[in-house]
């Protein structure tokens, strides 16, 4: 089953480009968390509570900010622009459990993941997600 048919994503790239980068981050948060949860379920034989605790280590803002900084040299110029646009978008939400700078970089990371997902750039999305685990 094609994941895009499952979720009925039928947008042209120009439509995605016209979205708010915070919308990219909104969907990117979900895509990244699903990727991490799937990775942990495949990697371990843990119970849900331990899976949840392990997932938090990957999906918290500080970890995502560190991942983005680590993989930045592997990004294309267009992807760096997506990251910059998302990071610089004014967000009125203040983080409860993270430094503002980490939160901004985590949002930028999620924006990149969401953008790649929404534009159906599956090969590049998989490459970026796999980099997160190395």
Would you name the residues annotated as active-site residues? Answer: 29
> What is the number of other CB atoms lying within 10 angstroms of the CB of residue 77?
7
H/E stretch holding 125 reads helix 122-132
Q: Which of 126, 40, 108 is nearest to 68 (CA)?
A: 108
DSSP H helical segments within 7-121, as ranges?
A: 13-17, 21-43, 48-59, 61-71, 77-88, 100-118
């Amino acid at each position: 089953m094609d994941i895009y048919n499952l979720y009925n994503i039928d947008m042209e790239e120009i439509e995605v480009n016209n979205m708010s980068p915070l919308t990219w981050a909104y969907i990117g948060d979900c895509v990244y968390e699903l990727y991490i949860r799937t990775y942990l379920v495949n990697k371990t034989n843990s119970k849900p509570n331990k899976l949840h605790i392990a997932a938090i280590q990957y999906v918290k803002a500080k970890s995502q900010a560190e991942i983005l900084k680590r993989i930045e040299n592997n990004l294309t110029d267009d992807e760096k622009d997506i990251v910059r646009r998302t990071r610089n978008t004014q967000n009125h939400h203040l983080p409860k459990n993270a430094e503002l700078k980490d939160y901004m970089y985590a949002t930028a990371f999620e924006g990149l993941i969401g953008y790649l997902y929404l534009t159906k750039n599956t090969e590049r999305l998989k490459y970026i997600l796999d980099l997160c685990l190395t």
